[in-house]
Structures are given as structure tokens and as C-alpha cells.
Amino acid sequence: MKLRYVLLAAAALVATPFAAQATPDDDLQHYREFFMKKFPGVPLEEFANGVYAIDATARENWEAIEEFPPYEPDVEAGKVLFETPFKNGKGYASCFPNDGIGVAQNYPMWDREKGRVVTLELAVNECREANGEKALKPFKGEIAQVLAYMAYTSRGNITNVEIPKDDPRALEAYESGKHFYFARRGQLNFSCAHCHFDNAGQLLRSDRLSPALGHTTHWPVYRAKWNELGTLDRRFKGCNEQVRAKALENQSEEYRNLEYFLAHMSNGIPLNGPGARK
């Protein structure tokens, strides 16, 4: 059966579990309650493991893979890249708090001066450009390796993405990301929420759909399908294409706002990236 018909058979209309005038804190409470009720007995921190928090059989295979993680060489390569000075003698450490070690849990963050969401990927490339270096190419390769190393140094740190209450632009960006998540798009007329809210835990062909809770905690990810490490924007792009929608540019405002919303909804969950997925 073609993907279109599998999806149409699996998905029902998704009712947003958020009230129209809810604050981000209200959203976070409703978001957690929705998934804790849907998957009773799964501790909050377990949602960092994605579908492996709710699928015991898949978890066994994943745990075996994690004994010799395929992303390990990328973490090592990322460490070398991170510690190699730029031509001007400075390095990534000069651009981040705590020299860039153990800070991934705070991204994306709101940049008051520029009035926009800054993801860790964007911050890495802006650091390079500020020091006379070219931005790294998107989706995979060196950018994913640098992010993997920074994520690895942040393992166990609790996601803590803030939406400043005194800056309405930040709330607007958050609401934009929330709208993107629940809006239908593409020829299949599907939203992100169709797969990862009401149908989370259901089978789509041989794949079990992961719950949205904790979706940002384990990136970048080594996917067997890719046979390499990839960034979260690469996954956003792939999801758009799967519903027959036009993918947006890497680090577009829409994708950054989407990540802002999703990361805030994962507040309180520890980071465990980089990760390995099917």
C-alpha cells in the first residue's frame, strides 16, 4: 500500500491539546499531561529515548546498538573540530558561555538584540562567520559532528529553553512554531501532530510512531536510513517531503521557531544526544 493510503488509514483529525490563549507554561503542562496519560508508567525522563521509551522490542535492538554507538567516531571528529583554532587564533569556545561545554540544553534561545530564535546550529555558524570562517554546510558532515560533540558534553543536563515573558517577540516566535507544528501542509494535508500526537505509538508500516514529547533531546542523530549523522533540520526537511510539502531552507525562521516550540515542550527532560535511530 502506498504511503499516502497508509497514513490516511492511520491518522485521525488531531485536536490541539492547547487552549488558544494558553501561555507557554500552560502548554508545557498540558503537553506533559497528554503524553503521560497516553503512555502511563513511562517516566518523564524516558521520553528522551523517543520510540524506545514505549516499544520494548525496538528498545532491545537499540540498546544493543548503543553498546557500540555508530555516532562515536562523529563525536570524536567533532571534538577535534571544536578544539581546532580558527585562522585568527580564536575558537568555538570564545563564542559560548562555559567555553561551549555543557550548554546545549539552553538552545534554542531568544536573542533580544536581533529579535529572533538562535538554535545551536545557527550559533555555531555565526561563531565561525564572526571569526572570518565560512559557515559549515547544512544537514550532515562537519556541522553535525560539531553539534554531536557539544551535545555529548551536555548529556544529562536538563532541557531548559526559556520564552522571555517580557519580550512579546519571543512569544510570537514560540506561537509561530506551535502553529507550524499543528498546521496541515503538503499534498497529503498532514501536520507534524498527525503522526506524533494522537497516533504516537501506532504502527506505520513496520515503524512505530514516536511521541512528540522529548523530540529535541537526542539530536543530532545517526539514522540507519541515512547511514550517517544528521541534524534536526534535516529531519524537519524529510518530514515535510514525506507529506509532499516543499521543504524549507536550512535554519529558516519557520524551522527555528518550530524547534523553539518543541524544545520548550521538552523542558525538564535530560539531553542524551547524539542518538541512534532506525
The catalytic residues are: 239
Q: DSSP assignment, residue 12? A: -
For strand 207-208 and strand 203-204, is the pairing parallel, antiparallel, or unpaired? Answer: antiparallel
Q: Residue 156 corresponds to which cell in the numbers above?
A: 544529562
User: 5: exposed, middle or buried (C-beta count within 10 Å: 0-12, 13-18, 19+)?
Assistant: exposed
In the chain, how long is the greatest CA-to-CA distance?
A: 57
**Three-state secondary structure call for residue 276:** strand
Q: What is the DSSP string of 171-216?
A: HHHHHHHHHHHHS-BTTTTB-HHIIIIITTT-EETTEEPPPSTTTT
